[in-house]
């Protein structure tokens, strides 16, 4: 974080300053901010956030031992560290992020990109950050830091020398993106797609559309909206952008897109695509598995070139990326038995894309194996969407369908109903039982997809299988 005095921080947070030790109100702090005491270092600022299972106030002592210079708390503590007492620690985190980013922006060349969408946010964020980091100091989220805690923590990593801030915005509820993007007012807003992810929490896909469009509304007037030309709901955000005087830059597969993919070829080693970038031809060879990641690459390329990066340079940097993120289409195992661990997130759209990728990268002498768990946050749509996945797996001729967990059982039942009843589809109550089966069932030439929402916990099963067949 940039250097600020304790008194200034107290004013920004609307809190009561409690000075301890040799500190005074004029003492400057500039360490990294975090809500995890284990990640605090010398000079750091620890935010004592109450949690669902524990209370951050219990770990202030640990933060002090690790060198914390300040604690942001909701009640005064006896610990030997200066404190700012606030009504709401999470709200204080947002207030602090807003102030810090505004100060950096006023003093330097900082440009801010916000990214949202039902799928692909983390991959696109990582691809864009890879492009921009060669242009200047770039701050981007760790993993999927895209909520009311993670997004401000990322913003607080900016310094006076930061040239680009790439923020990823998730939507836990209507208004969440508006709040998070409103902390920084992005110069560029990127909307990837509007799909069924989290639809249960929003009341349907139209409500999801309104939630995702909050980013366009929060992008600064006269800024840039980077929109998916192939998604009708994203394309419908164009009038919102125009009303705010924003330029619209399109990406996609259709003729409308200024950053466009033409022929796309998928293999086990990656994806090749012929591109047109503002009418100029290029070839992209992406190591990240899956045809669907071409769209994420197009979005990153559209944003980067709008920020002044040469298309050839941006494409060369994209080609150095080996995986999007851990547990996202991550190749494990060996050439003998290839495991694709994609079990950090799952929605109907990403599940379908992963299954299609599995079918595309498997040769005629190899066998497709799909290890599937539940998709979360679908609400009333859960049964129907799990049925669709089971149906799709059969239609793609996936040769072994391994379904895990009671929440995912409908995938198995649908696969059985569609004809995969002679051992092609099996069901297990938990990951351990599935591991025991797979450790003896898998054979040379198998290509195995492990796919589920994070809550299903199958990412660890994918890791175990990867180690077993390494």
Would you list which residues are annotated within the binding site for ATP? 117-123
Q: Which two tokens stand for residue 227?
A: 């929109």
143: Cβ contacts below 8 Å, ≥ 6 apart: 122, 325, 326
Torsion sign (Cα): 312, 314, 315, 321:
positive
Residue with tokens 């922006």: 105
* Per-position DSSP letters for 30-60, written without gaps between them: -PPEES-GGG--TT-EEE--B-SSSBGGGGH
Assess contact for 435 and 450: CB atoms under 8 A: no
CA dihedral 370, 360, 342, 418 (to 10 degrees): -30
**Beta 425-428 vs 400-404: how paired, if at all?**
parallel
Dihedral angle, C-alpha 260, 266, 271, 275, nearest 10 °: -20
**Structure tokens belonging to residue 367:** 């066998």
Q: Rounded distance, CA 335 to CA 331, Å?
A: 10
Distance CA 227, CA 12 (A): 35
Numbered residues of the known binding site? 117-123
Per DSSP (E only), the strands in 97-205 are 111-116, 138-139, 164-168, 188-191
User: Cβ–Cβ contacts within 10 Å for residue 300, how many?
Assistant: 32
Structure tokens at 45: 């600022």
Using CA atoms, how far apart are residues 412 and 395, in angstroms rounded to an integer?
Answer: 14
CA angle 378–384–388, rounded 5-degree value: 110
Structure tokens given for 135: 């242009």
């Amino acid at each position: 974080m940039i250097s600020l005095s304790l008194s200034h921080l107290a004013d920004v947070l609307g809190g009561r300053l409690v000075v301890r030790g040799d500190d005074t109100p004029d003492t400057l702090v500039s360490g990294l901010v975090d809500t995890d005491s284990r990640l605090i270092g010398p000079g750091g600022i620890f935010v004592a956030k109450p949690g669902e299972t524990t209370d951050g106030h219990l770990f202030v002592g640990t933060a002090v031992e690790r060198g914390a210079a300040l604690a942001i708390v909701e009640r005064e503590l006896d610990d030997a560290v200066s404190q700012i007492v606030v009504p709401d620690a999470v709200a204080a985190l947002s207030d602090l992020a807003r102030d810090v980013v505004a100060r950096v922006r006023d003093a330097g060349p900082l440009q801010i990109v916000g990214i949202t969408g039902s799928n692909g946010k983390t991959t696109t964020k990582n691809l864009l950050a890879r492009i921009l980091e060669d242009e200047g100091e770039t701050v981007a989220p760790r993993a999927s830091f895209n909520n009311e805690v993670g997004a401000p923590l990322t913003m607080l990593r900016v310094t006076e020398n930061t040239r680009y801030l790439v923020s990823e915005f998730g939507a836990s509820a209507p208004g969440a993106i508006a709040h998070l993007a409103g902390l920084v007012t992005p110069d560029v807003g990127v909307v990837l797609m509007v799909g069924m992810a989290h639809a249960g929490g929003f009341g349907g896909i139209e409500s999801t559309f309104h939630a995702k469009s909050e980013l366009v509304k929060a992008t600064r007037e006269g800024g840039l909206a980077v929109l998916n030309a192939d998604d009708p709901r994203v394309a419908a955000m164009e009038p919102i952008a125009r009303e705010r005087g924003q330029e619209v830059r399109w990406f996609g597969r259709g003729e409308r897109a200024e950053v466009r993919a033409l022929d796309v070829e998928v293999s086990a080693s990656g994806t090749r695509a012929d591109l047109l970038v503002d009418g100029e031809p290029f070839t992209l060879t992406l190591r990240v598995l899956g045809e669907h990641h071409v769209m994420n690459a197009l979005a990153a390329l559209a944003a980067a070139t709008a920020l002044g990066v040469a298309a050839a340079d941006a494409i060369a940097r994209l080609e150095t990326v080996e995986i999007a993120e851990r547990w996202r289409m991550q190749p494990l195992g060996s050439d003998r038995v290839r495991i694709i661990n994609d079990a950090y997130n799952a929605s109907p759209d990403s599940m379908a894309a992963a299954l299609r990728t599995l079918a595309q990268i498997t040769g005629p002498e190899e066998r497709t194996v799909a290890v599937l768990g539940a998709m979360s946050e679908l609400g009333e749509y859960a049964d129907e969407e799990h049925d669709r996945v089971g149906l799709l797996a059969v239609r793609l001729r996936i040769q072994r369908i391994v379904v895990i967990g009671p929440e995912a059982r409908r995938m198995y039942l649908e696969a059985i109903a569609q004809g995969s009843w002679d051992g092609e589809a099996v069901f297990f109550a938990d990951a351990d039982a599935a591991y025991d089966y797979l450790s003896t069932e898998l054979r040379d030439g198998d290509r195995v997809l492990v796919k589920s929402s994070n809550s299903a916990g199958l990412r660890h099963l994918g890791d175990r299988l990867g180690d077993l067949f390494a």
